[in-house]
């Protein structure tokens, strides 16, 4: 399990959910799902003094956090309706405006690179007339593959939020762990597990339907 420099105080075992939930709460999130993930990991990983302090933050002292994972899930469902693997992505500006949304279109476009993340990044960059998305957030329903993780780094995405883990093809917490490589010139903040259950159920249903045909 990769541990990035800014996550080292929490240890490798806490990387995937404990750290992500903690960091969200640390910037003021009051998202019930995030708090639940944090509490679950506290039980699994054991008490941590820093985590204990974070969990006690008063709601009045927290800034608001708006998740755009619902919009990503809508794109994923639309992709499934087109016969594409149901993955959706959303790019959000530093001011909180949605810059682009996209779902997988590899079959429709006959393009193996037309993953949701790539399409959303391309659309946001085209809208801004620039090749980088400094300060922007990316929401995606599934852990990005190595190709998409590299694109996220190249685009200088500030924060990556993703839902379901992808043990077979993921490139963030699985497999090559792109952001852990010294050759990776930019590492976004990473928050996983947002709407993970909904993302997983969508994927399972899609592939189950394929098998039944």
Catalytic site includes residue 117: yes
**Residues 6 or more apart from 179 whose CB is under 8 A from it?**
2, 4, 149, 153, 172, 187, 188, 190
DSSP assignment string, 145-206: PHHHHHHHHHTT-SEEEEEE--TTT-SSSSTT-GGGSTT-S---EEEE-TTHHHHHHHHHHH
Catalytic residue among 75, 84, 108, 117: 117
- Angstrom CA distances, 208 to 201, 202, 203, 211, 213, stand at 10, 10, 8, 5, 9
Q: CA 101 from chain center: how many Å? A: 14
Q: Residue with structure tokens 């946001």?
A: 124
Hey, which residues are catalytic here? Answer: 117
């Amino acid at each position: 399990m990769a541990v990035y420099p800014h996550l080292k105080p929490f240890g490798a075992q806490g990387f995937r959910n404990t750290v992500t939930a903690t960091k969200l709460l640390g910037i003021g999130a009051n998202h019930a799902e995030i708090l639940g993930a944090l509490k679950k990991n506290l039980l699994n990983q054991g008490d941590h003094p820093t985590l204990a302090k974070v969990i006690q933050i008063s709601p009045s002292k927290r800034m608001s956090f708006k998740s755009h994972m619902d919009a990503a899930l809508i794109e994923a469902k639309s992709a499934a309706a087109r016969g594409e693997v149901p993955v959706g992505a959303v790019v959000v500006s530093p001011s909180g405006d949605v810059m682009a949304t996209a779902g997988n279109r590899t079959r429709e476009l006959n393009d193996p690179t037309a993953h949701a993340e790539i399409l959303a990044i391309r659309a946001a960059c085209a809208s801004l007339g620039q090749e980088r998305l400094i300060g922007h957030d990316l929401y995606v329903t599934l852990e990005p593959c190595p190709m998409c993780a590299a694109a996220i780094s190249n685009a200088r995405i500030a924060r990556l939020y993703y839902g379901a883990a992808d043990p077979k093809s993921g490139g963030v917490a699985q497999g090559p762990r792109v952001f852990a490589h010294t050759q990776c010139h930019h590492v976004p903040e990473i928050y996983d597990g947002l709407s993970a259950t909904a993302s997983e159920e969508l994927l399972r249903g899609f592939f189950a339907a394929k098998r039944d045909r």
